Structure 1
Amino acid sequence: MTDSTPYLYQGARLRLREFGWRDVHALVQMHRDPRVRAHLADDVPLDDARVAHQFVENMQQFYRQHEGTGIWCAERAHPPEAEVLADALRAHACGEIDAVFLDALVQPRWSFCGWFSLVHLSDDLHTLEIGARLTPQAWGGTLAIDGGEWLLEHAFRTLGQSHVLGHCSPTNRSAAHCLQVLGFQPQGLAPYNGGQALRFGLCQSGWAAWHAQPRRERQRAVLSAGR
């Protein structure tokens, strides 16, 4: 994979692409953070560089063998600082820089923030599940919802799935809330990767009706229902 690999998804705050060798270090660092490890529903030691390297190699093969599904590298946008932006606009207004240079200066900086996934269950090759694993620096915002909405759009519209599952650690209340804002319904505890996880389900018709509502309304509905 080269730096010119196209993005599967790109929004104002988030973009997704295939994993490459340049991402090994970031993967290791994310999985060495105890805040991330506290919520993992699996025990794959991706804090080990050799394991992370093998993960990337496996993913690169997986993308070609199972087109349209996979675990994708996520990057988040960092807008230019207000002072830098103001200086650039002033310089352009004074004729000191042209529009091309101004555009380059105001572009956001992108950095690794984790992954989003859409893969088949290991014990049910006909069912897809969505997932996300983000660095703590990306917690507390809307990135998980942004990525989740794209995953569902891709699963239901592009891949023609009739239903999709989601899982999270029983202690990860933020992930459970995110899944419900996306429209998933809780289905209780289920076996998952040798342990137990909260399972959530969403069918295509339910997704279409739920996502016809503005995101803010969906968030209010989840909060008011105490789901």
Structure 2
Amino acid sequence: MSPEPVILYQGPRLRIRQFHSRDAQALFTMHRDPRVRAHLADDAPLDEPRVAHRFIAHMQLFYLQYPGTGIWCAERAQPPDSDTIADALRAHAEGDIDAVLLAKLVQPRWVFCGWFSLVHLEEDPQILEIGARLAPQAWDGTLALDGGEWLLQHAFGALLQTHVLGHCAPTNRSAAHCLQVLGFGCQGMATYNGTQARRYRLDQAQWQAWHTQSRRQRQRAVLSVSPA
């Protein structure tokens, strides 16, 4: 039996952990969604079960070979429905369950929602790039920003990077907006995984200054200027 995966980050809405073999079905199911495939910058057939299993096995080795970097499983918090919470509170009030069991019953369930990545750039292994690939169910809200902020804290903190890159398809406005809110500046077009992508860069000093502002202030600042 495979050991339980290491959790790298857990917030109120998002959890980031190492991939486990049991994630394969959710992984290839996500890649079968045409909305996801429309924005891919690579052609890896992760919509095939055998490829998804092989990908996870490779990542488990990658975690050991390159500590601190990798592609990690993302999970979103899914609170129990209101009926479940009401039943649990009623049972606790009537003395049928104790406080420990009550806490377990009302806590959110963690549901697969894609991945976040921090890996070495293929063309220059000294440089790290951040990335994310989320299922459509996680496109609304702030999960991409939650994960991106943790990736940057990790890159500039534990990994002592001076700058980090990010890439997205030219048509992917949501990804471009997310990178800008995180503090990245557009560097123009660049060859990426055999195709053309928009490249973004964030220096450590800029990140430190930018993140003294609240997320809402950063979002307003990005919206106030023309898109890159």
Query: Shorter-chain TM-score: which interval?
Result: over 0.9
Distance in 2 separating the partners of 1:64 and 1:164: 22
CA distance in 2, matches of 1:76, 1:196: 31
Give the TM-score, by structure 2 length.
0.96
Equivalent residue, structure 2, for 1:15:
15
Report how far residue 3 of structure 1 moved.
5.8
Q: What's the TM-score once normalised by structure 1's chain length?
A: 0.96
State the distance in 2 between where 1:36 and 1:3 align.
Answer: 30
The offset of 1:88, in angstroms, is 2.1
Give the alignment of 1:200-219 within 5 angstroms: 200-219=200-219
Q: Which residue of 1 aligns with 2:69?
A: 69
Residue ranges of structure 1 left out of the alignment (5+ in a row): none
Give per-residue Cα distances to partners, 1:88-147, cap 9 Å, x unaligned.
223323333210111011110111100000001101001000000000111111100000
Shift of 1:205: 0.5
The alignment partner of 1:90 has SS state of helix
Cα distance, 1:87 vs. partner?
2.9
User: Would the alpha carbon gap of residues 110 and 3 (structure 1) be closer, same or farther in structure 2, given more than 3 Å must change?
Assistant: farther
Q: Which residue is equivalent to 1:47?
A: 47
- The CA distance in 2 between the partners of 1:22 and 1:98, in whole Å, is 32
Q: Which residue of 1 aligns with 2:105?
A: 105
**Secondary structure of the structure 1 residue equivalent to 2:157:** helix
Q: Distance in 2 between matches of 1:87 and 1:52?
A: 39
Where do 1:115-154 residues align within 5 Å?
Answer: 115-154=115-154
Structure-2 separation of matches of 1:127 and 1:117: 13
Q: Structure 2: which 5+ runs fail to align?
A: none
- For the residues of structure 1 that align with 2:124 and 2:29, how far apart are their CA atoms? 31
Structure 2 residue 175 is matched with structure 1 residue 175: yes
3-state SS of paired residue (1:222): helix
1:161 has 2:161 as partner: yes
Deviation at residue 44 of structure 1 after TM alignment: 0.8
Root-mean-square deviation (Å): 1.2
Partners of 1:210 and 1:90 in 2: CA distance:
47
Aligned to 2:93: 93
CA distance in 1, matches of 2:89, 2:214: 34
Which moved further from structure 2: 188-197 or 54-63? 54-63
Distance 2:33 2:214 in 1: 34
Q: Which amino acid aligns with 1:211?
A: H
Instruction: Name the CA distance, whole Å, in 2 between partners of 1:191 and 1:173.
Output: 18
Distance 1:207 1:43, change over 3 A: same
Task: State the identity %.
Answer: 69
